[in-house]
Chain A
Amino acid sequence: MTAPRALCRLDEIADGGAVGLCPDARGRATVVAVRRGEVVHAWRNLCPHQDRVRLGWRRDAFMNGEGTHLMCAAHGALFRPEDGICTSGPCIGDALNRVHVTVENGVVLGQPEDLPAEAVA
């Protein structure tokens, strides 16, 4: 296994919030990371409803208004941050693809081989 790569600092994600990570060549986030206390769940930034569609509506704006779910703003699909399952919307029952991350010493780490191929950073 290759050495883990630092993706961001834990304190760069507001508790309960989400940020986009691992930009592609055009600066678009390929991974979305949600923080719940000291735990971070990370997901491929692609909606299971339609290929090519990214979650959110603006840079680092991924959560619904109540802050309970990740949202695909194209058609309003909501995803549980913990398991990535779509609980309402077009792809109900489908799940986001997990990107395995760990938090060590306040840094969010991912395995390079597990990160999207199109990510350049």
Chain B
Amino acid sequence: MRIIGPDEMVFGVDTLEDSKAFLRDYGLEDDGTGRFLALDGTAVTVRAKDDPDLPPPLPTNNNLRQTIWGVEDQATLDEIEAELSKDRTVNKAADGTLTCQDDAGFEIAFRITRRTELNLPPERINSPGAAPGRAANEIGADEDAPARPRTLSHIVYFVPDWEVMAKFYIERLKFVITDKFTNTGPFLRPQANDDHHVLFMIQTPPYMQGIEHLAFHMKGPTELMLAGSRMVKMGYQSFWGPGRHKFGSNWFWYFSSPMGVNIEYDADMDKHDGDWTEREAPMSPENSQMFLFENVEKWAPGGPPKGKA
């Protein structure tokens, strides 16, 4: 089943203007309709919570309204429609988008992906013993470089029964487990995506159900640090990071957002194929990251002590 990953996340908020400002400052492009786009066209959409065009809210106070999955082709949409119609109502919009609920009660949709294929340079580094990543005289540190999220990477849900939810995505939509945290939930990737995970879930009491965070891929660790540093300078609240996760290997930096959800920059996630054997570990600070830093004000040592020439 050729599902690629999340195409667009839809929120209904009471902080509309603050949310729009956040998403612009985070680096997404405002298309003027409430949709904020990464470079490849994947997006976050925010609307006022009483907007009649929004899908219904969750029974909790979480502001997520819909997860729109992008698929490769019409054949995949037909396959999903046939599979999910077995035990639920699947609605089909005029443009062919399918909408329904998953087994955890989240509003989900499927459409032929709107993402465009990117053809961009990676972060290039020079590493002794390896061919130089950058040509002679090509500078690595450019404080004025743009730092735009490239593509919607992954989403993480708070869910009351991770086993029910994981079963739905694995058995019905053919997602694959890459790794798992014991009694918490698995890291999942769909068939048409080799990223370590596009979906992860954390078991919580039912009143917490919702989205915990969403993440966009950046060019590389340097761009992630640059984008995050700019957010801090603008006064935004760092939630966690920067650091580097163990499962997935992705660099991370999370920020609290006025949508009431954390939004992460990530970079350099592992890729997997069918030869991979899943790992399992208890969820803990030790297992969640290889290392963790916090941003501090700029500082530099000088030569002589203060006040001496």
Footprint of B on A, CB under 8 Å?
A: 26-27, 53-54, 56-61, 64-66, 71-76, 78, 88-90, 92
Contacts and interface: CB of A to CB of B under 8 A. Distances in A.
Contacts of B261: 74-76
Contact of B208 (A71, A72, A75, A78): A75
Given A64-B14, A78-B61, A57 B207 contact: no
23 contacts: A26-B294, A26-B295, A57-B236, A57-B255, A57-B257, A57-B258, A58-B18, A58-B235, A58-B258, A64-B15, A72-B256, A73-B257, A73-B259, A74-B261, A75-B210, A75-B260, A76-B61, A76-B62, A89-B61, A89-B208, A89-B260, A90-B158, A92-B207
B39 interface: no
B50 to A, nearest CB: 11
A65 B297 contact: no
Nearest to B256: A73
A12 B61 CA distance: 31
A73 B258 CA distance: 6
Contacts of A90: 158, 204, 208
Interface of B: 13-16, 18, 22, 60-63, 158, 204, 207-208, 210, 212, 234-237, 239, 255-262, 294-297
A65 B237 contact: no
Nearest to A91: B208
A120 B297 CA distance: 15
Nearest to B237: A57
A58 B234 contact: yes
B260 A73 contact: yes
B297 A27 contact: yes
A78 B260 CA distance: 10
B18 A74 contact: no
Contact of B260 (A58, A61, A76, A92): A76
A66 B16 CA distance: 11
B64 to A, nearest CB: 10
A58 B236 contact: yes
Task: Give chain A's interface secondary structure class.
Answer: loop
Q: Which of B63, B237, B239, B255 has the most CB of A within 10 A?
A: B237
Contacts of B210: 75-76
Contacts of B18: 57-58, 61, 65
B113 to A, nearest CB: 29
Contact of A58 (B61, B237, B294, B295): B237
Given A56-B256, A88-B61, A89-B61, A65 B234 contact: no
A57 B297 contact: no
Contacts of A78: 61
A77 B62 CA distance: 9
Contacts of A53: 239, 256
A106 to B, nearest CB: 26
Contacts of B13: 65
B62 to A, nearest CB: 6
Which of A56, A57, A64 gathers most chain B CB within 10 Å? A57
Given A57-B236, A92-B207, A26 B296 contact: yes
Contacts of B22: 57-58
Given A58-B237, A60-B235, A74-B239, 7 more contacts: A53-B256, A59-B235, A73-B258, A75-B261, A76-B259, A76-B261, A78-B61
B257 A75 contact: no
> Top 5 nearest A-B pairs by Cβ distance?
A76-B260, A65-B14, A59-B235, A73-B256, A65-B15
A65 B121 CA distance: 40
A37 to B, nearest CB: 23
A23 B198 CA distance: 37
Contacts of B257: 57, 73
Contacts of B297: 26-27
A60 B296 CA distance: 19
B229 to A, nearest CB: 13
Could you say which of B13, B208, B256, B259 has the most chain A C-beta atoms within 10 Å of its C-beta? B256
